Amino acid sequence: MSKPETMGAILECTCGISPSPYIVTPEKCVFQITPVANILDFAPFVNILPFGMCNSPANPAVAAATATAMGVLTPMLCIPVTVTPWIIGDPTVLLANMPILTSDCSLMCSFGGCISVTDPGQIPVKLRE
C-alpha cells in the first residue's frame, strides 16, 4: 500500500547522482502535524530541490560540457525543471481539492529524468484500536 508523502520525504532522479529532500510548504499542515503533499506540489526549488549533479544529455549544461570534453559524458549541476504535476496520486483522498501525493507517484523533469519517492518521510505510529 502506498503512503502519503510528507515533509521529510526523500526523492531520487534517474538522471541525478544523489537523493534530495522533498519540501512540503506549511500551508498544507493538517491538525498541526507534518505537512502532507498533493500532486500540485512540484515547483522546482520550492518543493523539488537539486539532485547533486545531472547526467542527462538533454540538459543543455551537460550537453555543452560533454561537447567540450570531446563526447565524454560530463555531469553538471542539477537544475530541476518540473512543469507538470506528479503522476497518479490517490484520487480517493483529497487535500486542497487535489489528490494527495503517495509514495508510488512519479514526476518527470523536462531534461528526461524520472523523479520518484525513495522514502515517504513518515514516522510509523501505532493507532489505538
| pLDDT greater than 60 at residue 127 | no
Instruction: Spell out the domain ranges in the chain.
Output: 10-51+79-119
pLDDT of residue 120: 83
Which residues make Cβ contacts (< 8 Å) with residue 97, sequence separation at least 6? none
Question: Which residue would you say has higher pLDDT here, 3 or 24?
Answer: 24
**pLDDT tens per residue, range 35-78:** 788 899 999 999 999 999 999 999 999 999 999 999 999 999 99
Distance CA 25, CA 71 (A): 41
Mean pLDDT (the chain) is 86
pLDDT of residue 51: 98
**Burial classification of residue 85, based on how many CB atoms lie within 10 Å of its CB (0-12 exposed, 13-18 middle, 19 or more buried):** middle
Q: How confident is the model at residue 107 (pLDDT cuts 50, 70, 90)?
A: very high
